[in-house]
Copies of this chain bind each other. A is one copy, B any other.
Amino acid sequence: MAVYTHLGAEEMAALLAEFDVGTLISAKGIAEGVSNSNWLLETTGPEGAGPTRYILTMYEFRIELADLPFFLSLLDHLAEKGCPVPRTIHDRDGRLFRMRGDKALALIEFLPGVSVSTPSPAQAHAVGAELARMHLASSDFGTVRANGMALAEWQRLAAACGEAGLSSIDPALAEMVARELPRLAAQWPTGLPSAVIHADLFPDNALVLGERISGLIDFYFACNDLCAYDLAITHLAWCFDEASGAFRPELSRAMIDGYETLRPLAPDERAAMPLLAQGAAMRFIMSRAYDWLNTPADALVTRRDPMQIARRMTFYQDNPGIFA
């Protein structure tokens, strides 16, 4: 959460003149985004539309410029097919983003909704359905992006942390990674259906209005990978109580049911779910462990505890039957 760059009202107004969105009414820097700065803008709107809100994002670090067309045109593709994702606002020359020095600026739709901390079963059902809708909608998206957080990256992060580093977080973590990472690598499924997946659909990245999903946001991990793996990530992210860590079986059932209303899992996908869920856990264990060891305790970015996810990993190993 941060706004890294000061963008004055005059500069913002000049930038907006490059888009058909009217003139600036309001601009608030918002505390979202780890690797970019974001503003919630209101303008007088395009001709005849009336006041309209947008999110302006300045890409500061991490996201390679080369990937921006993928992310931004994916939003257009998904929105076109009825997914609740923010459209990219193209500038008057049709461009998806504009440069300001060495930083890129993009304007996207503002979507209403709030992120919940303790989802209801109906919300889990709805997010399952929206995830399936996205997988169906993205299957004919022409552009391809490899998953930068796939198994090879978990292995690289494990090596970078080192056994000593992982042990310094928790000795049980070092043991778990040493034992499970090779097993996941050996057993990781191939040949399951793939599409462009969200790959990071935590409740933070879904907007909810009542029981309805009003938005899926933050597609900066989106990539081509297994559909069922995306469901496994979303399951990991939604189906445990944040405070107690307890598994919430009613959310698990609702999410999978919701997913299958639009895209029933094939038998081999269903059979792979326990392993994919463990893989999903390993992916977040490794990124959190690496960040834990490499982020100063007093940094702007909140460090997230890898052990929270390690406990979910153990749960998945002990309870493969939840996906049966």
Contact = CB atoms under 8 A, between A and B. Distances in A.
Contacts of A40: 28, 30, 40
Contact of A24 (B3, B29, B114): B114
Contacts of A113: 25-26
A129 to B, nearest CB: 20
A117 interface: yes
B2 A31 contact: yes
Interface residues of A, number: 30
A112 B28 contact: no
A32 interface: yes
Contacts of A29: 1, 30-32
Which among A31, A113, A207, A208 has the greatest number of chain B C-beta atoms within 10 A? A31
B32 A28 contact: yes
- Copy number of this protein in the oligomer? 2
A94 B25 CA distance: 31
A10 B112 contact: no
A7 to B, nearest CB: 10
Nearest to A31: B29
Nearest to A25: B112
Contacts of A25: 112-114, 209
Contacts of A24: 114
A30 B42 CA distance: 14
A73 to B, nearest CB: 25
A3 B42 CA distance: 21
A186 interface: no
Contacts of A27: 114
A9 interface: yes
Interface in A266-284: none
Interface in A65-115: 112-115
8 contacts: A1-B29, A2-B31, A9-B114, A28-B28, A30-B30, A31-B31, A40-B40, A300-B300
Given A1-B3, A9-B208, A28-B30, 12 more contacts: A1-B2, A1-B29, A1-B31, A3-B31, A9-B115, A10-B117, A24-B114, A27-B114, A28-B28, A29-B31, A40-B40, A300-B300
